[in-house]
Amino acid sequence: MKKLLWVIAALLMVNIGNVFAEDAPEFTANMVAHLGADAPANKVYVSRNYIRLEMPQGNYAIVDVRAKITHVVLPKEEKYMDFPADVFRMPRYGKMLGTEIKRVSLGKQKISGYDTEQFLVTRDIGAKMSENMIQWLRSDNIAVKLASGDENWSVTLSDIVPGKQNDSLFGIPYTYKGYDQYGHELR
């Protein structure tokens, strides 16, 4: 579950800016997260207010940006668990990475077959501290890749298909039981 939440957080770091923007592109893509070893590819659906991440074992997560919550859905068990999503610490506007304080272009590079511009981004993470991240951005402001400054972890998108997403992708079946992050049943 911890790795799943890391993957969701990393995905949000890559593209939540698109979700907040009024003219944001909607798209589907395959996503691979690298944290030590490669994780299997996951399917991701991005709309203006939601992100859905499907895992190979059949589970999926839905991030509701407006409600600031992540629903981890477990279809085999017909239940879901809610976790808070701190959208204020995440990127907001197109290519901007949330609490960004500096952006430096590192040049052009091809990632997953896409022409991108690579940026070194410095973010304020509070307590007078900052972190560096590397972002590879397409011309339509879809971040194809995001990595830590030391490249210990990264998230890469491939097979990106722009287009409106079906609203049904972001719903939870009404028969599923809900639980909070502590395992208490939701009413």
Query: What's the pLDDT at 117?
Result: 94
| pLDDT of the residue at 184 | 83
- pLDDT tens digit sequence for 59-76: 998 988 778 888 989 999
Looking at residue 69, its pLDDT comes to 86
Domains and CATH numbers, the chain: 2-179 (2.50.20.10)
- Residues of the chain falling short of pLDDT 50: 2, 6, 13-19, 88-94
pLDDT one-digit tens code per residue, 165-175: 999 999 999 99
1 DSSP assignment:
-
Would you state the pLDDT for residue 140? Answer: 85
CB-based contacts of 47, cutoff 8 Å, min separation 6: 19, 26, 164, 165, 167, 169, 170
The length of the chain, given as a count of residues: 187
Nearest Cα neighbor of 155 from 144, 163, 165 is 144
Backbone angles phi, psi at 77, to 5 degrees: -100, 0
